[in-house]
Structure 1
């Protein structure tokens, strides 16, 4: 961490009171630094030996030969400056080499502020004394002491910037939108005084920067405000609608993983067979079917004709979740199956797979120990992106089955436009997708040892 300047400075800022006092002690220690004394002695010995005159003559001769080779005139001032620079570099290098050699023999360590502070951190009394004023600094040190925690922490910090950027962009679009929230809600019969009162009550008459600041402040304090319609708390509304969206998304994901990954592996291992063509044809159909049409067909057949399943979602009837899960999971299953097949086909033709077979490993060992793990990276990417999208709300599926989820909530609010509700929905989606991306990155490291190795080198 010390090698990375950005975090080094952050460490100094977070522990400023401690570093200020430590720096005073370091200055007093530096005066009695044995290494500095050795450095000065070595430098003085080099100067006294007259070796600088030898170097000066040598560099002067080289410079004159160089200028003669290129047919250039020798300029005394430029030559002296060049010789001086080269001599200083050589002297510095020789002095440090000799000083380090002598220091190793005497067991002396070079004293820098970083090494001095690190030596203090090894003392329990110093940690106990400075724990409270330096708690943020120590927390940062603990985070960066573990490469995996550091990796997750940095991804979360990046997510904060992403959420802030998305918030600013969406708010700006809503601000520039031609829709008038007051006119849409109060109706055509609303007077100018009523519209002005509505705008003043909700802060819509403020300048752009003031409204943006209020919105960002509300997001930072988790106070998303009240929606324009019904005056309901936005955070509470989203929290109430989140569980059903999560349940549908998780069951759709399980359906895709259980069906798609085995299908993709079978298709890849039996390429161009009847099974391969059949599975991929079904997957292509699954990708091509629109959600709203599939949902309506399901309702027509399984609800109206056969009367097996309820047509709309009801929290009291667990059977009502089956059709939404299947409809939402169909596209995900098809996408994952095709990606699994493509990824497996690419991996099983690699040289190391052929080598494993040549060593006598049977097909099952090669498949599960070598092929599947390496093929999972693009599969995880597709699953993560689609799952994040589903957690953001599948508005079409929710509308078809009358599910009061996040997707339908955002769609209903955007035509007003209900700015607090839309901002709340957007922040929810941004946070959800950011967390899913962090989870994807962690799964990358779990399946691929090369990524784990890179993480440890950070």
Structure 2
């Protein structure tokens, strides 16, 4: 019991030094804080009656202070030769006494605050078992937060999740504002150029487009948070159901492309760095440059022309459940990704390869494979993982072209199609959910840093 209380108070004190955590603890533990503030008020009332409080009272030595400072003014007049009237002397003495009182009052309050901090009061309250149980029941969220704070990895994940929420709110605000100020008229684009004014007004009223900007923005926030995405402007389609159908398709293609790129790129990058300036290195660099330079849509069209039209080996259009239809889109998306990852693997390993600790490992007579994988590759993983995480985000955000080429009904093509209307709730929902996946991937990448580099782990613990 004592160890639990000690741990709670220790983390509680640390959280009091961080403004946002302090606010969060007050909000989540408001019922416990009511008792803390009540006891502090009671203690302060009792403290005011104590001898230590009264010792700060200047009433007993005010005359001595006045006399002492009056003599100081007389010496000042004598030394500097100033002429000060009696009224001015009394005014200066009065101001001095008032300043001294304020200083003493400040010291008195500072002493109280140092003796009766929130953590000190909470410690005394938690020693009562009945209050401890009450506090756990009614301030359970506060203790959950304290527990998360005590574990560095949970604290890090929690902070990133909170940051992700603010990023999502920022994305909603930005995307909605851009769509709102867009010169395109949704009603006119959907109803056609021959639509009457009454039809346009009825359309705008039906979807709330006639409301002020602030009200529409508030509704956009509310709909995203509550997952009530509403209906699309075209076809009156349920947006949540549409995204639930299309998002897994894009995700599956993106992860398969990433897997293909990692399988090809990392071994190629390792071999190229170990056999620097060899024929393999030059050939690899050439293919990597070609892979980065050729547009995805062009590679897609070439693959369709050869493998679908000429030899009829693979389907030209995508079909969910047909494994063959995944092959060409995955190759197209994986090409640019594998080139980037392989180049980063090569560059990172070349940098580590010339380090002193690698030379030391080789001088000890360690097996070359151990030197390559345990000493060089392991220390080169940080930038490689960073690139992989960034490229996955770019695939999710930029898969629209590839989806159009292979007629894939994914989230990328869905957002592009809705953008030209613009179908504000559909575009907003699609962009936000893509952003959520990208944020989660970045969170995983950051967590992997700690397991790969002890220095980063140590910094996280002290953060």
1:3-402 to 2 correspondences below 5 Å: 3-26=17-40, 112-118=117-123, 120-121=125-126, 125-392=130-397, 394-402=399-407
Q: 1:21 to 1:326 in 2, by over 3 A?
A: same
CA contact (8 A) 2:273 2:349 kept: yes
Alignment match, 1:69: none
Unpaired runs of 5+ in structure 2? 1-14, 57-91
* Equivalent position SS for 2:435: helix
Q: 1:273 to 1:123 in 2, by over 3 A?
A: farther
Query: What is the rounded CA distance, in whole Å, between the counterparts of 1:125 and 1:275 in structure 2?
Result: 74
Q: 1:113 to 1:174 in 2, by over 3 A?
A: closer
Query: What is the rounded CA distance, in whole Å, between the counterparts of 1:113 and 1:227 in structure 2?
Result: 52
* Equivalent position SS for 1:132: helix
Query: What is the rounded CA distance, in whole Å, between the counterparts of 1:248 and 1:414 in structure 2?
Result: 22
Alignment match, 1:409: 414
CA contact (8 A) 1:268 1:341 kept: yes
Alignment match, 1:48: none
Q: 1:39 to 1:221 in 2, by over 3 A?
A: same
CA contact (8 A) 2:345 2:380 kept: yes
Provide Cα deviations, 1:126-182, integer angstroms capped at 9, x if missing partner. Answer: 332122321221221122121111101111111111111121111111111111111
Alignment match, 2:448: 443
Query: What is the rounded CA distance, in whole Å, between the counterparts of 1:228 and 1:270 in structure 2?
Result: 58
Query: What is the rounded CA distance, in whole Å, between the counterparts of 1:167 and 1:197 in structure 2?
Result: 26
What is the CA distance between 1:240 and its match in structure 2?
0.6
Q: 1:450 to 1:228 in 2, by over 3 A?
A: same
Query: What is the rounded CA distance, in whole Å, between the counterparts of 2:42 and 2:229 in structure 1?
Result: 53
Query: What is the rounded CA distance, in whole Å, between the counterparts of 1:243 and 1:267 in structure 2?
Result: 35
TM-score between the two structures when normalised by the length of structure 1: 0.82
Query: What is the rounded CA distance, in whole Å, between the counterparts of 2:318 and 2:258 in structure 1?
Result: 19
What is the CA distance between 1:39 and its match in structure 2?
8.9
RMSD: 3.6
CA contact (8 A) 1:393 1:406 kept: no
TM-score between the two structures when normalised by the length of structure 2: 0.81
What is the CA distance between 1:390 and its match in structure 2?
2.0
CA contact (8 A) 1:324 1:397 kept: yes
Q: 1:252 to 1:420 in 2, by over 3 A?
A: same
CA contact (8 A) 2:31 2:135 kept: no
